[in-house]
Amino acid sequence: MMERILEGMHENLHLGTINRTRVGLNWSVVVIVVLIASGLATGLFRNAAPGFGAGVYWTAALLTAVVFLASLLGHELSHAVVARRRGVVVEGIVLWALGGVAKLNGDAPDARSEMRIAIAGPVASVAFAAAFGVSALGLNALGASAIVVTAFAWLAEINVLLALFNLLPAYPLDGGRVLRAGLWRHWGDRSRATDAAAGVGGVFGMALIGLGLFALFFIPTFPFNGIWLALIGWFIYGASRQKRGAVRINSALDGLRVGDAMHPVTGVAPAYATLDDLVEQYLRPGHVDRYPLVDFHGAIAGLVSLEQLGRVAAEHWPSTKVSEVAWPTASLAQVSSGEALAPFVTQLSSVPSHSALVFEDGRLVGTVTPRDIEQVLRSPTVFRHTDRPFATAHGE
């Protein structure tokens, strides 16, 4: 349903592995189950088949909600299978409050692959809808209970809705990805296509927020939950903004190397020194805000920043070792100075320190912290870079 941009969508409960894809739940998925089950138990099922006890309606409603989750999972698995076939690494699938997320690691290699990956989900949902619809008709003909027939008919309907809703050209929904793929193919420019599709997504997000709130207050018979619609709109709006920001950062960093952003090493300090010794003997006045560390044998042992020193009260400096407050080597990225900067910035966000040691021919030559990246993004040369791909949008 919605992919990848959700860094906050963690897996709380690991369900298992289906077809080599890791599948999990976020606790917020309970919201879907409760919304659906309560709607079915107190409304649809009771009206379609009156005369049963509340326990019967609720049991049928909960089962139906779980089957719906399974069909949602099928939608995401379909994305995942095609993505893997197209050479995109699939980290896993998480079901959460607003649907499912197939977490893809990296971008589709070309526009055609992007199109196939995006369309695979809605195609699966339509197939599920057909299967549930045929089952409903068959069960009805066999004289099954009205609750069961209604449940299958509802599952068919909701899967059609799921496919249609996801085909809205609102990036990052599937339809928005289809739009992105089309523009990508048309312009031959992935960044421009992403920016444009995300722009359209932002407008749709705002419109859904407006529609959801309007329905909540003024249309009591509106078939969807207004808060739900507004939340989805808010999510789409946020995700599209985030994507546009990422596109701009990427084009700003385009053509630069890690060496362009790094802070050169001017000295190292021993990891086994106390904070007191570090400050008195190693720190030089100036603009250096971090020091690479070495162990007894002179091997690189981590990185300490002035910020980390500042977190320790001065009276503890004589008794605290630098290694106790510094980032150990394992929590730092290691990179060669000649590597391209844009993909490296993405990699930086995946290490705990968000910082890196930079090597050249096996020798430590510099360090990179988030501050260095900010500085590169603020520098005037980079502004020229940033403006270039978007100049046409301003009519220049």
Query: Considering beta carbons, is residue 167 or 258 the nearer one to Zn ion?
Result: 167
Give residues 156-185 in contact with Zn ion (rule: CB under 5 A): 166, 174
- Annotation marks residue 76 as catalytic: yes
**Minimum Å distance from CB 70 to Zn ion?**
15
**Minimum Å distance from CB 310 to Zn ion?**
46
Mask for 40-69, x = binds Zn ion (CB under 5 A): ------------------------------
For residue 377, which of 345, 355, 340 has the smallest C-alpha distance? 345
Give residues 297-326 in contact with Zn ion (rule: CB under 5 A): none
Query: Considering beta carbons, is residue 60 or 104 the nearer one to Zn ion?
Result: 104
Give the residue nearest to Zn ion (CB).
121
Site stretch for Zn ion (CB under 5 A), options 37-45, 121-129, 203-211, 315-323: 121-129
Q: Does 372 bind Zn ion (CB under 5 A)?
A: no
CA 335 centroid distance within chain: 24
DSSP-assigned states of every residue in 261-298: HPEEP---EETTSBHHHIIIII--SSS--EEEEE-TTS
Strand order in the sheet with 13-18: 13-18, 21-25, 89-96, 99-105
Question: Mind spelling out the 3-state secondary structure of 150-204?
Answer: HHHHHHHHHHHHHHHHHCCCCCCEHHHHHHHHHHHHHHCCHHHHHHHHHHHHHHH
- C-alpha–C-alpha distance, residues 315 and 272, integer Å: 18
| Exposed/middle/buried for residue 89 (C-beta within 10 Å: 0-12, 13-18, 19+) | exposed
**Minimum Å distance from CB 278 to Zn ion?**
52
Q: Which residues contact 271 (CB under 8 A, 6 or more apart)?
A: 293, 294, 295, 301, 302, 321, 322, 323, 326
**Minimum Å distance from CB 76 to Zn ion?**
7
**Minimum Å distance from CB 1 to Zn ion?**
4
Mask for 188-227, x = binds Zn ion (CB under 5 A): ----------------------------------------
What number of chain residues touch Zn ion (CB under 5 A)?
4
Query: Considering beta carbons, is residue 1 or 80 the nearer one to Zn ion?
Result: 1
Query: Considering beta carbons, is residue 176 or 302 the nearer one to Zn ion?
Result: 176
Q: Which residues contact 298 (CB under 8 A, 6 or more apart)?
A: none
Q: Does 1 bind Zn ion (CB under 5 A)?
A: yes
Near Zn ion by CB under 5 A: residue from 24, 121, 212, 366: 121
Site stretch for Zn ion (CB under 5 A), options 30-38, 63-71, 118-126, 319-327: 118-126
Query: Considering beta carbons, is residue 151 or 168 the nearer one to Zn ion?
Result: 168
- C-alpha–C-alpha distance, residues 347 and 258, integer Å: 12
Query: Considering beta carbons, is residue 32 or 153 the nearer one to Zn ion?
Result: 32
For residue 172, which of 107, 109, 237 has the smallest C-alpha distance? 237
Selected catalytic residue, list 3, 7, 11, 76 = 76
What three-state secondary structure class fits 357?
strand
**Minimum Å distance from CB 126 to Zn ion?**
12
- C-alpha–C-alpha distance, residues 149 and 333, integer Å: 56
Residues at the site binding Zn ion, with contacts judged by CB under 5 A: 1, 121, 166, 174
Looking at the annotation, which residues are catalytic? 76
